[in-house]
Chain A
């Protein structure tokens, strides 16, 4: 029993997921139907893909505000360029723009030394301008049907997008777990000065993570465009980045960096997805789900703080006792 409680307090994301599933099942039995569960997963896989990039960045101690408008810019490019350069070209161009924005962010933060919040806020405004100017403030319908077919296509119960999400999760997990870059990310997020002294190129790590996040958000925008068959300049504005960051934080990642886990970020995305899903099943007003998301966030942060404090106090007490028994 004690093992279970320790596991649940250590992995608070899983606790909340279980609680959410119980609450959702109590509210409506049809929530547990496999079709609905797959629905939740399919609907939130795009957000999950963006959360992968954001997790890399949060592990490093930064976050990217430019995600929300980069999504709409990438969506507009991937739809609007299809007539000129074909689907593959349009998608590549959108990804390239995401990488460029990531490079600008990363260069200014890592090598020039400007605060990450300010830089990404500025690029967010810039991307928002471009996202409206490029399509002349109109939404663009993707001319090629196979783009939409990829977006809504399914292989068994899973959509193509969620399969892509799972593949990307495994790649990202591999990178974080088994490569130098992943280890450097954790180290640089935990203590930048110490890891710089230990010979890790902290600046390059930050730079690469900003590029990963930029490409991830652009990919999210492309997939949104694919699943809708069109792009809209207001896509993602004004709180997509907040939702993605909230998902990572729900998954236990600390905004100060160094703590976090990709799979828990996935759990965080699914928690937010379950809130929206159960609200639409029970037919609640839209403000209820916004309210619940906010309330859950605050509750999680408080619980996390309390647990961390209790654990710190426990460790301090144990250390004091050990010190006393020795002397």
Chain B
């Protein structure tokens, strides 16, 4: 799918930078505008966090998502449509990605075909730092939000310190490993070698 999308992006843009033709169009406000001192993109993020958080913690659907993540077979036998749940989670992820892409494009005033290359690693890192279990069934929106903040603070810190961006990768590597190790130890599942 990644290959297909990459190809479609290149096909649509012809490999060129696609710029916004009309910089006064309302959608630009999403990427560049401010509401008071708060950028609108931050507000969009907060709205998304709240909506997704409510869906995950306060609705039957969110409950089903976690249940299916823990054990799909049990859910199937207790009457949850697990295929549907899995499909809708992919749709939710795609929707969030599309909104993020709009914000990214309007902030820069245009889109490059290679934009977002390697973003998936940052995003997955944020989710892991937030303590979500890759095996499924555990995690929450606000903890993922904290994970994203950690990554953002780390990146800004490296810029302020004036260090090369490549040291940041090594730091990210070590931070992920330590975070996941501590998470495992907190759950008491570290196997003794």
Interface of A toward B, CB cutoff 8 Å: 108, 111-115, 117-119, 121-126, 128-130, 132-133, 137, 203, 237-239, 242, 285-288, 290-291, 293-295, 297-298
Residue of A at shortest CB range from B3? A294
Q: Which of A112, A129, A239, A295 contacts B4 (CB 8 A)?
A: A295
Central interface residue in B124, B125, B168, B177, by most chain A CB within 10 Å: B177
- Is B60 part of the contact surface with A, judged by Cβ < 8 Å? no
A interface footprint on B106-148 (CB within 8 Å = 1, 0 otherwise): 0000000000011001001100100000110000000000000
Known interface pairs A121-B121, A291-B4; A286-B10 also in contact (CB < 8 Å): yes
Counting chain A CB atoms within 10 Å of each CB, the highest count among B118, B134, B166, B189 belongs to: B166
Contact mask for chain B residues 134-178; partner A; CB cutoff 8 A; 1 contact, 0 none: 110000000000000000000000000000101111101110110
Q: List residues of B whose CB falls within 8 A of some A CB.
A: 1-8, 10-11, 117-118, 121, 124-125, 128, 134-135, 164, 166-170, 172-174, 176-177, 180-181, 184, 189-191, 193
Whole-angstrom CA separation of A305 from B178 in the bound complex: 38
Give the complex CA separation of A121 and B180 in angstroms: 12
Of chain B, the residue at the smallest CB distance from A298 is B1
> How far apart are A192's CB and chain B's nearest CB, in angstroms?
13
Please pick, from B10, B174, B177, the residue contacting A114 in the complex, using a CB distance under 8 A: B177
Q: Is the CB–CB distance between A129 and B3 below 8 Å?
A: no
- B148 to nearest A CB, angstroms? 16
Give 5 CB contacts A-B under 8 Å. A132-B166, A133-B164, A133-B166, A288-B7, A298-B1
Bound-complex Cα distance A111 to B180 (A): 14
A51–B117 alpha-carbon span in the complex (Å): 24
Q: Which residues does chain A contribute within 8 Å of B169, judged by CB atoms? A: 125-126, 128-129, 132
Check if B124 sits within 8 Å of A121, measured CB to CB: yes
Q: Which of B3, B168, B176 has the most CB of A within 10 A?
A: B3
Residues of A within 8 A of B10 (CB): 285-287, 290
Question: A206 CA to B112 CA in the complex, in Å?
Answer: 41
**B173–A294 contact, CB under 8 A?**
no
Q: Are B3 and A290 in contact (CB under 8 A)?
A: yes
Q: How far is the CB of A210 from chain B (nearest CB, A)?
A: 15
CA–CA, A297 and B10, complex, Å? 19
Docked CA distance A125–B8 (Å): 27
**Does the CB pair B181–A112 fall under 8 Å?**
yes
B7 pairs with A294, CB closer than 8 A = yes
The docked-state distance in angstroms from the alpha carbon of A124 to that of B169 is 9
User: Is A125 a contact partner of B121 (Cβ separation < 8 A)?
Assistant: yes
Contacts of B4 in A (CB 8 A): 290-291, 294-295, 298
Chain A residues, Cβ within 8 Å of B5: 294
| Residue of A115, A125, A133, A297 ringed by the most chain B CB atoms within 10 A | A125
B134 and A118 within 8 A (CB): yes
Alpha-carbon separation in the docked complex, A126 to B172 (Å) = 7
CB distance from B1 to the nearest CB of A (A): 6
Excluding A126-B169, A290-B3, A294-B3, 7 further A-B contacts by CB distance (< 8 Å) are: A123-B173, A129-B170, A133-B164, A237-B118, A288-B7, A290-B4, A291-B7
- Also in contact, A112 and B191, with CB within 8 A (given A125-B169, A125-B176): yes
- Rounded to whole Å, the gap between the CB of A117 and the closest CB of chain B is 6
CA distance A180 to B143 in the complex (A): 45
Question: Which 10 pairs from chain A and chain B are nearest by CB?
Answer: A294-B3, A129-B169, A126-B173, A291-B7, A294-B4, A287-B10, A111-B193, A129-B170, A132-B166, A122-B176
A122 touching B172 by the CB < 8 A rule? yes
- Are the CB atoms of B168 and A129 closer together than 8 Å? yes
Q: Provide the residues of chain B in CB contact with A126, threshold 8 Å.
A: 169-170, 172-174
Roughly how many angstroms separate A242 CA and B4 CA in the complex, as a whole number?
13
What are the residues of chain B within 8 A of A112 when measuring CB–CB?
Answer: 181, 184, 190-191, 193
- Give, as a whole number of angstroms, the nearest-CB distance from A325 to chain B: 29
CB distance from A71 to the nearest CB of B (A): 15
Please measure, in the bound complex, the distance between the C-alpha atom of A237 and the C-alpha atom of B11, giving whole angstroms.
21
Q: From residue B125, how far is it (CB to closest CB) to chain A in Å? A: 7
Closest chain B residue to A126, Cβ basis: B173
Contact of B180 among A115, A124, A128, A285 (CB under 8 A): A115
> Which of B10, B164, B169 has the largest number of chain A CB atoms within 10 A?
B169
Q: Chain B CB within 10 Å — which of A108, A111, A124, A126 has the most?
A: A126
Residues of B close to A111: CB separation below 8 A? 191, 193
- How far apart are the CA atoms of A295 and B5 in the complex, in Å? 10
A123 to B174, CA, bound (A): 8
B152 to A: closest C-beta gap in Å: 16
B190-A125 in contact (CB<8A): no
**Contact yes or no, B7 A118, CB < 8 A:** no
Which of A128, A137, A286, A290 has its CB near the most chain B CB atoms (within 10 A)? Answer: A290
Q: Is the CB of A290 within 8 A of B117?
A: no
Whole-angstrom CA separation of A128 from B168 in the bound complex? 10
